[in-house]
Amino acid sequence: MDNLKGLKRTHSCGELRAKDEGAQVVLMGWVQRRRDHGGVIFIDLRDREGITQIVFDEELSGEAHKKAEKLRSEYVMAVNGKVRLRPGDTANPNMPTGEIEVVANELRILNTAQTPPFQIEDDINVAEDVRLRYRYLDLRRPSLQRNIILRYNVTKAVRRYFDNEGFIDVETPFLTKSTPEGARDYLVPSRVNRGKFFALPQSPQLFKQILMIAGFDKYYQIVKCFRDEDLRADRQPEFTQIDVEMSFVEREDIYRVMEGLMKTVFSEAAGIEIDTPFPRISYEEAMKNYGNDKPDTRFEMKLVDLTETFKQSQFKVFSSVVENNGLISGINAKGFAGMTRKELDDLTEFVKGEGAKGLVWIKVLENELQSPVVKFFSQEEIEDMKNRLGAEAGDLLFIIADESETTYRALSELRLKIGKEKGLIDEKRYDFLWITDFPLLEYDSEEKRYVAMHHPFTSPVDEDISLLDSNPQAVRAKAYDLVLNGSEIGGGSIRIHRNDIQQKMFDLLGIGKEEAEAKFGFLLEALQYGAPPHGGIAFGLDRLVMILAGAESIREVISFPKTQKAVCQMTGAPSEVDEKQLIELGIKLRRSVK
């Protein structure tokens, strides 16, 4: 095994070009692959910047050639040699360094490596748990390195933007108070204060509001947050937020500053130019037109309310839904009347999986409508349905009738499924959309009380404050979400800065004075000392980078992610701890009985 002994790298493995012909260079990295052609050995040498072909020619340097015979995949090496143009037609136009190669005159083998459990290259078919178990090898793959570097470039652009806008980066505590609203907290037992627990923050919400009361005016932080919840493709137990709060602002100020942030991030980190201002629609419009509050607007196919059309229908499935104050809604899959019966049956099963009882499909042909149920419709209903859906020959109509929530969910998911499977979505397009005017409250029928749609510190719209006593469900919030390509990437609100309105909000949520004091006493006290009007937003950094990278899961843009069971395959966390540690904490485990 060799040492560096003062040898210094002059270039990365992705840097050399034809203009460097004749230069004496030193490269260092990992062996991507080795090809032995007898008197000549070719090594593809890799580092995070790329790959360069190294040539060990027995006639030019016998010692280096003999040493190169020992090289294997993922060995770590340094090479000193001269850049030359690749001879004849051996240039590789698919590689940035494909015009040149480095002819070695010195080789140092810095370390050996076991045979990796999978090839260190993109487009490999390897189980994700194996990749996560050997994450240090997985991270050598070019696609993951690009993702992590993209993430760095995003955070660099974020910091530069906020610095230029006069924001201050302030750290907030990780060990804080448990306020069990929403997702479960991760709890940390206190050794010093036996029987008491810290909680890891689900967000810095209360602290950033207190920073506004403290007079810091403009705050941001790129911060880790924690939620003990069931995972899916775009969730992790620990995740990173771009957290922002501003004083003396209204919603328009938030929109303007955050649109500037997105414009800067996309341009500087990914070379993508986006247009501002972003379009806005209300929560009510989003639900009515798309069936959810994070619509993908890269393709059309809006939902159309057909309840009025079929309110007197002889078709019992529809009439019973109308009688029970449900919703009949449809979409027009334009030009897809040629779908097979199997495809239609598969889509029917799909919406049933979303809770719908069934799916009505109608093919619009040149001189007729083709459907098992169209015989139950009157001519007047047919004409009104066609007009509302903009139906033309060759179109395929889908209708779902159910409770409003079920109809919206099933039809929204059906719309997305058709859009993805039929190639209606432009994957290179970035559609931003503000969703505004959310309901302040929603009623939880199980707990028989109101719950905050966002969080209990969200301010109601000024003109709706009078409705807090008489019609709470009609009150709109000064809340907003930023949606990108059908994913919510950020959400925030103007906050309540008056103690009397905050107390009224707690009353509506069924949070008594003692409970409010126990959970949020420090904030309520702070609000009595001159809180300015303030508001903010938090963006999910992981999700934003995932979209920019074109990745399927945020695990592809996080260096060391957890699995869907919240386990780190590489380190084995979470793990059991020593009994002594538990005794120090005053904790005794109760073993589950199988």
- The DSSP secondary structure of 175-207, one letter per residue, reads SB----SSSBPEEEE-SSSTT-EEEE-S-SHHH
Report, as an integer, the average pLDDT of 134-158.
98
pLDDT reported for residue 136: 98
pLDDT tens readout for residues 108-117: 999 999 999 9
- Numbers of helices and strands, H then E, in the chain: 16, 22
Neighbours of 299 (CB within 10 A): 19
Phi-psi region of 539 (alpha: psi -120 to 50; beta: other; left: phi over 0): beta
Q: For the chain, how long is the longest CA-to-CA vector?
A: 93
pLDDT reported for residue 33: 95
Q: Is the pLDDT of residue 270 over 80?
A: yes
Kindly indicate the confidence band of residue 593, based on its pLDDT and cuts at 50, 70 and 90: low
pLDDT tens readout for residues 295-341: 999 999 999 999 999 999 999 999 999 999 999 999 999 999 999 99
Q: Is the pLDDT of residue 592 over 80?
A: no
Q: Is the pLDDT of residue 61 over 80?
A: yes
pLDDT reported for residue 594: 57
Secondary structure class of 284 (helix, strand, coil): helix
Q: Percent of the chain at pLDDT above 90?
A: 88
pLDDT reported for residue 546: 96
Q: How far is it, in rounded angstroms, from Cα 105 to Cα 103?
A: 7
Q: Are strands 50-57 and 76-85 parallel, antiparallel or unpaired?
A: unpaired
Report, as an integer, the average pLDDT of 455-464.
94
Kindly indicate the confidence band of residue 515, based on its pLDDT and cuts at 50, 70 and 90: confident
Report, as an integer, the average pLDDT of 409-421.
98
Secondary structure class of 326 (helix, strand, coil): coil
pLDDT reported for residue 297: 98
| Cβ-defined contacts of 136-144 (< 8 Å, 24+) | 136/570, 137/74, 139/559, 140/30, 140/46, 140/74, 143/556, 144/556
pTM, 2 dp: 0.93
Kindly indicate the confidence band of residue 590, based on its pLDDT and cuts at 50, 70 and 90: confident
pLDDT reported for residue 102: 98
CATH numbers and ranges of domains, the chain: 18-111 (2.40.50.140), 145-279+433-438+477-497+532-556 (3.30.930.10), 299-425 (3.30.1360.30)
Report, as an integer, the average pLDDT of 29-56.
97
Within 13 A of 55's CA, how many CA atoms are on the CB side? 17
pLDDT reported for residue 513: 86
pLDDT reported for residue 521: 87
Q: How far is it, in rounded angstroms, from Cα 246 to Cα 285?
A: 28
Q: Is the pLDDT of residue 147 over 90?
A: yes
Please enumerate in sequence order all residues whose Cβ is within 8 A of that of 315, keeping only pairs 6 or more positions apart, or say none. 373, 376, 377
Neighbours of 512 (CB within 10 A): 11
pLDDT reported for residue 449: 86
| Average per-residue pLDDT for the chain | 95
pLDDT reported for residue 517: 87
Amino acid identity of 134?
Y
Q: Is the pLDDT of residue 232 over 80?
A: no
First to last CA, the chain: 53
DSSP secondary structure code for residue 278 in this structure:
P
Report, as an integer, the average pLDDT of 286-292.
97
Residue with tokens 């040498």, as numbered in its chain: 45
Please enumerate in sequence order all residues whose Cβ is within 8 A of that of 421, keeping only pairs 6 or more positions apart, or say none. none
DSSP class per residue in 80-148? EEEEEEPPTT---TTSTTTTEEEEEEEEEEEE--PPPSS-SSSS----HHHHHHTHHHHTTSHHHHHHH
Q: Is 358 exposed, middle or buried (0-12, 13-18, 19+ CB in 10 A)?
A: middle
Nearest to 356 by CA among 389, 419, 398: 398
pLDDT tens readout for residues 165-222: 999 999 999 999 987 656 789 999 999 999 999 999 999 999 999 999 999 999 999 9
Please enumerate in sequence order all residues whose Cβ is within 8 A of that of 431, keeping only pairs 6 or more positions apart, or say none. 296, 297, 298, 484, 485
Kindly indicate the confidence band of residue 404, based on its pLDDT and cuts at 50, 70 and 90: very high
Distances from the Cα of 301 to the Cα of 74, 234, 290, 447, angstroms: 50, 25, 8, 36
Report, as an integer, the average pLDDT of 126-151.
97
Q: How far is it, in rounded angstroms, from Cα 438 to Cα 284?
A: 8
Report, as an integer, the average pLDDT of 25-45.
97
Q: How far is it, in rounded angstroms, from Cα 412 to Cα 421?
A: 14
φ and ψ of 221, to 5 deg: -160, 135
pLDDT reported for residue 519: 84
Nearest to 320 by CA among 310, 330, 305, 309: 310
pLDDT reported for residue 231: 64
pLDDT tens readout for residues 469-498: 899 999 999 999 999 999 999 999 999 999
pLDDT reported for residue 211: 98
pLDDT reported for residue 125: 93
